[in-house]
Amino acid sequence: MAKLSLEDLIELLNECNDYEDPVDPTPDVLDLTFDALGYDSLTLLNAISKLERQYQIELPESVTSDAKTPRGLLAVVDSRLA
């Protein structure tokens, strides 16, 4: 199964945040926290729910507390897609 790209993740997060102050999917955002990028916990929960449905995977409940950055979330999602 294909990996989740940074571009796809950021687009999904921007969509779940109603495109309010959208983030550009540049490599420098990989290690910034979701909070620093302007994504709140509700945005993150909506994105995780959509990722689970879209990729037909189940992410651990701890993903919101463990994956604090796009790089962390990409790693968790990609580990489930492998």
Q: Do residues 41 and 62 touch, judged by C-beta distance below 8 A?
A: no
Please state the rounded mean pLDDT for residues 52-75.
94
pLDDT of 1 higher than 80: no
Q: What is the pLDDT of residues 5-54, one digit of tens each?
A: 999 999 999 999 999 999 999 999 999 999 999 999 999 999 999 999 99
Rg (CA), the chain: 11
Q: 24, exposed or middle or buried, with CB in 10 Å at 0-12, 13-18, 19+? A: exposed
Residue tagged 């999602």 (tokens): 77
Question: Which band of pLDDT confidence, cut at 50, 70 and 90, is reported for residue 82?
Answer: confident
CA dihedral 37, 64, 19, 7 (to 10 degrees): 80
| Sequence letter at residue 75 | A
Model pTM score: 0.92
Q: Which pLDDT value is given to residue 2? A: 76
